[in-house]
């Protein structure tokens, strides 16, 4: 995080349920680390913090009571009195959208949340939520966070992209480098990769996606041998409904690859569009 901040990075994405899947963890560990770091560096005012509610095993769903409880816990772990961007981490159809949005309205009025966004919603429910916000003068989701990357385009482009465009909001996509596949570490001749996400990245290992890597190799050469990860994120930033992609790094070396900003030409974007379609 120090390295990220040294590059001018200021937007950190987390969730209350991170990392409850790790043996011995219960969720909240990521927020605690971020909060401790901001407190030690006294840099809360210069950071933009996004976190989420509804997928924590102990605090599931989007009822008003759960949102209030989860928000307080997140604020305590983050050692802050406000959250910049608070996501509904997944939809909860057992709760009315009016109740969920009304809870967010209270948190915004109290200064505990600044903006809200949605993740893993259907297009229909997202449109309905925005409609209810407008009709009832309630806070409105300003963004979505959905899976989208150069080798995983179908789900988002089959409906959500148009919905996001119609609503005038944007996507802050996760898995921007496809769990590491788009770093180029995973090639046909490479059998072992030192990564906790290796199994997930291997799901992308097929001839079509290897062809995408080959096209990216050509583009990298034209950009002073820029890292493939930087090319993958540049492609995402070039998409009209994307505001900023999310990518993870577990070492400073990996961070130095994804932090680089590459501007792709129109022809390069079109080349990647065609090969990955």
CA distance 242 to 189: 33
**Annotated catalytic residue within 18, 86, 104, 115:** 18
Separation between Cα atoms, residue 129 and residue 169, nearest integer Å: 13
Q: Catalytic annotation on 18?
A: yes
Tokens 């769903």, residue?
A: 61
Residue 8 near residue 260, CB atoms below 8 Å: no
The CA distance from 274 to 170, in Å, is: 23
The two counts, helices (H) then strands (E), for the chain are 12, 8
Query: What is the per-residue burial (b if ≥16 Cβ within 10 Å, else e) of 27-59?
Result: bbbbbebbbebbeeeeeeeebebbbbbbbbeeb
* Sequence-distant (≥ 6) Cβ neighbours of residue 235 within 8 angstroms: 150, 264, 269, 272
Q: What are phi and psi of 112, to 5 degrees?
A: -85, -20
By annotation, the residues acting in catalysis are 18
């Amino acid at each position: 995080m120090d390295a990220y901040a040294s590059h001018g990075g200021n937007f950190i994405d987390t969730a209350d349920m991170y990392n409850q899947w790790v043996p011995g963890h219960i969720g909240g560990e990521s927020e605690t680390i971020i909060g401790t770091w901001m407190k030690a560096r006294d840099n809360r005012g210069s950071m933009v913090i996004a976190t989420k509610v509804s997928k924590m095993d102990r605090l599931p769903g989007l009822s008003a009571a759960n949102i209030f409880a989860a928000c307080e816990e997140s604020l305590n772990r983050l050692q802050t009195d406000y959250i910049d961007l608070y996501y509904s981490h997944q939809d909860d159809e057992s709760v009315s959208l009016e109740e969920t949005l009304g809870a967010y309205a209270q948190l915004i009025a109290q200064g505990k949340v600044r903006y809200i966004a949605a993740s893993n919603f259907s297009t229909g429910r997202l449109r309905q939520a925005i409609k209810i916000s407008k009709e009832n003068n309630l806070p409105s989701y300003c963004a979505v966070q959905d899976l989208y990357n150069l080798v995983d385009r179908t789900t988002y482009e089959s409906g959500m992209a148009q919905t996001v465009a119609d609503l005038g909001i944007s996507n802050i996509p996760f898995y921007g480098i496809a769990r590491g596949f788009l770093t180029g570490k995973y090639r046909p001749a490479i059998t072992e990769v030192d990564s906790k996400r290796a199994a997930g990245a291997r799901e992308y290992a097929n001839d079509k996606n290897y062809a995408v890597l080959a096209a990216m190799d050509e583009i990298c050469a034209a950009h002073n041998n820029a890292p493939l990860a930087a090319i993958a994120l540049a492609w995402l930033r070039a998409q009209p409904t994307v505001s900023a992609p999310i990518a993870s790094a577990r070492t400073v070396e990996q961070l130095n690859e994804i932090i680089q900003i590459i501007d792709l030409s129109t022809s390069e974007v079109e080349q990647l569009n065609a090969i990955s379609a």
